[in-house]
């Protein structure tokens, strides 16, 4: 059995998917990009701002599922330029305690709407 998790505090999907799916005690959060949920527009300021916005989307989705960052066991980070890795890593790391989740960071040719960062995750209650 699966349940769609939806919140107005994160952007609506831009395709045929949900913000997250809960199955059992596991939450699969779709890749989040720096879209302002109020305007539906991509915010393409500096990469630190983009990363913070993405992490805040993930936070809102986790809260909707009655979870928090301590429940995340795996993240996937997709970035448009590996030169941005230190700035993204700095913001990303500030959301976790001394036991951050497993993760990979992958440089890609392009991301939805021209974003510089996209992050997805898996969390377990």
Determine the Cα angle at 102 with ends 98 and 103, to 5°: 120
pLDDT tens sequence across 1-51: 999 999 999 999 989 999 999 999 999 999 999 999 999 999 988 999 999
Residue 125: the pLDDT is: 95
b vs e for 88-120, b when ≥16 Cβ sit within 10 Å of the residue's Cβ? beebbeebeeeeeeeeebeeeeebeeebbbbbb
Q: Which CATH number fits domain 3-124: 3.10.580.10, 3.30.420.480, 3.90.1150.10, 3.30.1330.40?
A: 3.30.1330.40
39 to 1, 34, 94, 117: CA distances (angstroms)? 33, 11, 26, 19
DSSP summary character for residue 42: B
User: Is the pTM above the cut of 0.85?
Assistant: yes
Residue 78 has pLDDT above 90, yes or no: yes
Q: Domain spans of the chain?
A: 3-124
pLDDT tens sequence across 87-111: 999 999 999 998 999 999 999 999 9
Neighbours of 84 (CB within 10 A): 18
């Amino acid at each position: 059995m699966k349940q769609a998790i939806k919140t107005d505090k994160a952007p609506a999907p831009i395709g045929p998917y949900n913000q997250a799916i809960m199955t059992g005690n596991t939450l699969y959060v779709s890749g989040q990009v720096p879209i302002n949920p109020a305007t539906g527009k991509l915010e393409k300021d500096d990469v630190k701002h983009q990363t913070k916005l993405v992490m805040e989307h993930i936070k809102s989705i986790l809260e909707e599922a009655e979870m928090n960052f301590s429940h995340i066991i795996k993240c996937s980070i997709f970035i448009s330029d590996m030169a941005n890795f230190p700035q993204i890593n700095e913001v990303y790391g500030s959301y976790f305690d001394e036991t951050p989740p497993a993760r990979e960071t992958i440089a890609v040719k392009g991301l939805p709407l021209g974003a510089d960062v996209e992050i997805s995750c898996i969390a377990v209650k």
